[in-house]
Amino acid sequence: MSCGQGACGCCAVLMEGKAVASCITLTAECEGKEIITIEGLSDPVTGELDPIQEAFLEHNAFQCGFCTPGIIIAVKSLLNSNPDPSEDEIKEALSGNYCRCVSHYQVIEAVKSVLKGGKTA
């Protein structure tokens, strides 16, 4: 289900706070850089989830969940650079994430709920 070619977005990780497709990122490019995977978004001690992860659960913003880690990483990347994006900016930021279950409507609602809650600002 993953593409291995930088086209679907499901393998995204944060490199220096910005989403990158790990499948087309060379190890050498990672040297000295901060890399955060989807697992790294939760608190390592308490296990508390990132507000974005909580919002996805609350809004059922996935079906099979295969694309979800990449989408959440893309949202985190967006909010790192733009804490108050418009709906169009959210859609643009997620344009590289392919969801074959068509969960994008719930994803948009989940992201907007995080903005309303002001949890990531």
- Shortest reach from residue 102's CB to ligand FES, in Å: 8
What separation in angstroms does the CA of 78 have from each of 4, 26, 45?
A: 23, 23, 26
- Shortest reach from residue 19's CB to ligand FES, in Å: 10
- Cβ proximity to ligand FES: between 10 and 114 the closer is 10
- Cβ proximity to ligand FES: between 98 and 114 the closer is 98
User: Which residues form the interface with ligand FES (CB under 6 A)?
Assistant: 2-4, 6-11, 21, 23, 62-68, 99-101, 103
- Shortest reach from residue 104's CB to ligand FES, in Å: 8
Residue type, 21: A
Distance CA 98, CA 79 (A): 19
- Cβ proximity to ligand FES: between 67 and 114 the closer is 67
47's tokens: 């296990």
- Cβ proximity to ligand FES: between 55 and 99 the closer is 99
Among candidate residues 107, 92, 80, 89, the one with its CA nearest the CA of residue 18: 80
Distance CA 37, CA 13 (A): 5
- Shortest reach from residue 20's CB to ligand FES, in Å: 9
The DSSP H or E segment spanning 107 is helix 104-117
